[in-house]
Each structure stands twice: as structure tokens, then as C-alpha cells.
Amino acid sequence: MMGPAHSLSGAAAWLGVGAAAALLDHPMPWPVVVVGALLCAGAALAPDLDQKSATISRAFGPLSRLLCGVVDKLSAAVYNGTRSGGERRRSGGHRTLTHTWPWALLIGAGFSAAAAVWGRWAVLVILFIHVVLAVEGLLWRMARVSSDVLVWLLGAACAWILTNLLEKPGSGADWLFTGDGQEYLWMGLPIVLGAMVHNIGDALTISGCPILWPIPIAGKRWYPLGTPRFMRFRAGAKVENAVLMPAFMVLSGAGSVVALGFIG
């Protein structure tokens, strides 16, 4: 799928989790709903770090383009080093390492640890990165015609405001994990969810996605999981824009209403 659909599906997924938490009598404080949705929407772009032409490659100027180039080469090296005999060698790494469950867990765990260990300053950085990505995804057309600096300033302002909100008692810094030193540990969850939602979205397209690597399937370690062939579509196709995007919007609205306690 394309960037806007990935980000919108990520936001819808976290709002769905928020609705489920509310129905299970463990509701999220509203800042956690908002922050989690932005983190998940931003993280839903992150697996495309292995593609130089992806939306994420433009998000932070030369730095993100350089990072995408490095991750592309790393992903290709891991693929070629672990592929089974029936899988052809590749020169590019798109839809390999960063499109797997181990990568999603690693990234989520890394951000959770950083937030728990370094507190406020790590939270500010994590939020800045993911808010910028969320803007690039959810407001793609507007972000592309505006200055990158304006998007970065918006990301920084949102990160500062949301971090201040989370720090207030009862606002969610210790949501889910309440032990001493476990504040913000939950922040890795929407990041893992966003990455996995991205992978599931790519599994709906013609090429499929090797989500379960390194578990071998049909003799292949990089088996491209997907729906039945007749149900798949090309990224950016009409079904994505005319069916999936409206569906994600409806799910986001329904999830937010329940997660925020308007319906219970």
C-alpha cells in the first residue's frame, strides 16, 4: 500500500486497541489515545526504510535518504545471507528485513527501553520522529507542498505539548505499566503495532510480504505471505483509495468514540 493508507491503517489500529481497552475496563487516558494513534500512524510508514523512493525517505531530508540507503543495503545483505536455495539473490532489500515480525519487535522494544531509561528527552525525540512521519502519511498532499521545515516545526511543537500532557498525574505516562521506572514503557506497543499493520497491508498487494521470516514456509525463509491471488491489488490501485481508505476512516472514527468514552 501507499503511505497515506499505511498511516491511516496504523491510526485505526491503535484506536481499535483503545476501544478494546475501554470495553475491558482498562481505558486509556485521552493523551494515550492521541499519542498512541500518532505513534502508530508514524510507525506504519517505518518498514519502508528499505526503499529510497518511499514517503519516509523524504521525511527528514538528506538524513532520512541516507538512512534509507543504509537500511536497503543491510536488508539486502540479510536476505542474501539467509535465503534458502530456491530463493533468488537480490540486489535491493525492499520488503525483506524491515517487513518482518522480528524487526517490528526489535524496533518497538528499542523505543520502549529508550523512553523508560531516558524519560522526557527520549519521549520528545520519539514523538518528534513519529509525528513528522504521521503528518507525512496522513496529510501527504499538504505536507508535500509545504516546507519540510514547517513539518518539522509542527512535529516539534506537537512533541513538546504531548510530552507535557503525559507528564501530568493521571495523564498516561504510567498507563499499563505502573512500576517505578516503567513510565512510558507502553510507547513501544503502538510502534510494534504500526509496523505489523504495515506488513499486513503489504500482504494484501500483489507481491505479498515475508512477515514470518525466518520461519520457513514451503521451503522458503522469505515466503511472501498474502491473501489469495484473486484478492490482491497493486499499491495505489482504486481499491486502496476507494475502499480501504474510507474503511480505515470509519474504523478510526468508531474506535475513537469508544476509546475516548463517548460510548461504553
What is the reported pLDDT for 227?
A: 86
pLDDT of residue 140: 67
pTM of the model: 0.92
| Spatial distance between the Cα atoms of 204 and 155, rounded to a whole number of angstroms | 31
Closest CA to 120 of 167, 156, 153, 154: 167
Query: What pLDDT band is residue 213 in, cutting at 50, 70 and 90?
Result: very high
For 25-42, the DSSP string reads T-PPPHHHHHHHHHHHHH
User: Which pLDDT score is estimated for 239?
Assistant: 78
Under 8 Å between Cβ of 33 and 18: yes
Environment class of 81 (CB within 10 Å of its CB; exposed 0-12, middle 13-18, buried 19+): exposed
Residue 25: per-residue pLDDT: 87
pLDDT of 72 over the 90 cut: yes
Paired with 233 in beta bridges are: 205
Is the bond preceding 216 in cis, omega lying within 30 degrees of 0? no
Q: Structural domain boundaries of the chain? A: 2-260
Q: Is the pLDDT of residue 46 over 70?
A: yes
Look at residue 230 in the predicted model and tell me its pLDDT.
77
Residue-level pLDDT at 11: 95
Amino acid occupying residue 224 = P
pLDDT tens per residue across span 17-32? 999 999 998 889 999 9
Asked whether the predicted pLDDT for residue 143 surpasses 60, the reply is: no
- At 165-211, the pLDDT tens digits run 998 888 888 888 777 778 899 999 999 999 999 999 999 888 899 99
Average pLDDT over every residue of 231-256: 82
pLDDT band (50, 70, 90) for residue 141: low
Q: What percent of the chain has pLDDT over 90?
A: 58
Counting residues of the chain whose pLDDT is more than 70, the rounded percentage is 95
Check residue 243 and give its pLDDT.
Answer: 84
Q: What is the mean pLDDT of the chain?
A: 89
Model confidence at 2: pLDDT above 80: no
User: Quick one: average pLDDT of 96-101?
Assistant: 96
